[in-house]
């Protein structure tokens, strides 16, 4: 597999970009990595980069976007923060990745059994982590079931995973409402903004479409 060029990047539609990620995840879960020479890709991309996707994922050591989508050097922009939410800096990074560097899709990739989401479910407080966890807590409040207080914590993994899904949905809403640049690109059909969930049990990514 070769690194993308200005021409091959331009030929990818937003739908095709999603398709490429789905195919990559299928290779990952089948343990059939695409044949690529990373050092050759380093050489191919020394004059510029033409990635096709921007992925926002958690810092979780099990959820590296390049690995789970079987991508190489110069293929994707990867933004990572515990709990995969957006702030001004992440939005700025995404605007760079889409408007200036030409990627065709923004994927907000949550994952099951997320530690940051568990922290939000438990309203954990610790140093700088407190401010981060507070950014995920609106998703906890937005999940209405179950109502019993003793089932709304990290011990209830179904609840945790529902909050993760809600957090992805709310992050997408925040991208649209807080980034005029990305909203306009989406409205013009230049990019897609979609959510997805990585299952730490089997390596699969389910796209929400
Ligand atoms: Zn996580």
Q: Which two tokens stand for residue 48?
A: 């510029």
Q: In this structure, is residue 117 part of a structural domain?
A: yes
Distance 99 CA to ligand 1 centre (A): 27
Split into its structural domains, the chain has a count of 1
The DSSP element (H or E) to which 66 belongs, if any, is helix 65-68
User: 110: CA distance to ligand 1 center in Å?
Assistant: 7
> In the β-sheet with 205-208, what is the strand arrangement from edge to edge?
76-80, 53-57, 105-111, 192-198, 205-208
Cα–ligand 1 centroid distance for 115 (angstroms): 5
- CB neighbourhood size of 113 (10 A): 16
Q: Is residue 85 part of a domain?
A: yes
For position 9, what pLDDT does the model report?
Answer: 96
Question: Do the domain assignments include residue 1?
Answer: no
Positions of E strands within the chain = 53-57, 76-80, 105-111, 192-198, 205-208
How far apart are the CA of 133 and the centre of ligand 1, in A? 11
Tell me the three state secondary structure of residue 114: coil
Distance 186 CA to ligand 1 centre (A): 27
Q: Which domain holds residue 121?
A: 6-207
Per-residue pLDDT of the chain (209 residues; tens, 9 = 90+): 899 999 999 999 999 999 999 999 999 999 999 999 999 999 999 999 999 999 999 999 999 999 999 999 999 999 999 999 999 999 999 999 999 999 999 999 999 999 999 999 999 999 999 999 999 999 999 999 999 999 999 999 999 999 999 999 999 999 999 999 999 999 999 999 999 999 999 999 999 98
Q: Is residue 132 part of a domain?
A: yes
Cα of 122 vs centre of ligand 1, distance in Å, is 14
Ligand 1 center from residue 80 Cα (angstroms): 10
Contact 113/82 with Cβ under 8 angstroms? Answer: no
Alpha carbon of 189 to ligand 1 centroid (Å): 30
Contact (CB, 8 A) for 159 and 143: yes
């Amino acid at each position: 597999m070769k690194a993308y060029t200005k021409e091959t990047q331009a030929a990818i539609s937003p739908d095709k970009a999603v398709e490429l990620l789905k195919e990559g995840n299928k290779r990952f879960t089948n343990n059939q990595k695409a044949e690529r020479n990373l050092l050759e890709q380093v050489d191919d991309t020394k004059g510029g980069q033409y990635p096709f996707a921007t992925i926002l994922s958690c810092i979780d050591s099990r959820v590296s976007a390049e690995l789970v989508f079987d991508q190489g050097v110069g293929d994707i922009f990867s933004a990572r923060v515990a709990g995969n939410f957006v702030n001004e800096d992440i939005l700025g990074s995404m605007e760079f990745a889409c408007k200036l560097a030409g990627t065709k899709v923004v994927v907000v990739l949550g994952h099951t059994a997320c530690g940051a989401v568990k922290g939000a479910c438990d309203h954990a407080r610790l140093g700088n982590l407190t401010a981060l966890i507070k950014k995920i807590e609106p998703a906890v409040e937005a999940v209405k079931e179950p109502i019993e207080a003793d089932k709304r914590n990290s011990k209830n993994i179904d609840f945790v995973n529902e909050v993760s899904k809600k957090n992805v949905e709310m992050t997408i809403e925040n991208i649209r409402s807080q980034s005029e640049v990305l909203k306009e690109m989406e409205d013009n059909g230049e990019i897609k903004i979609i959510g997805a969930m990585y299952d730490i049990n089997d390596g699969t990514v389910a796209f929400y479409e």
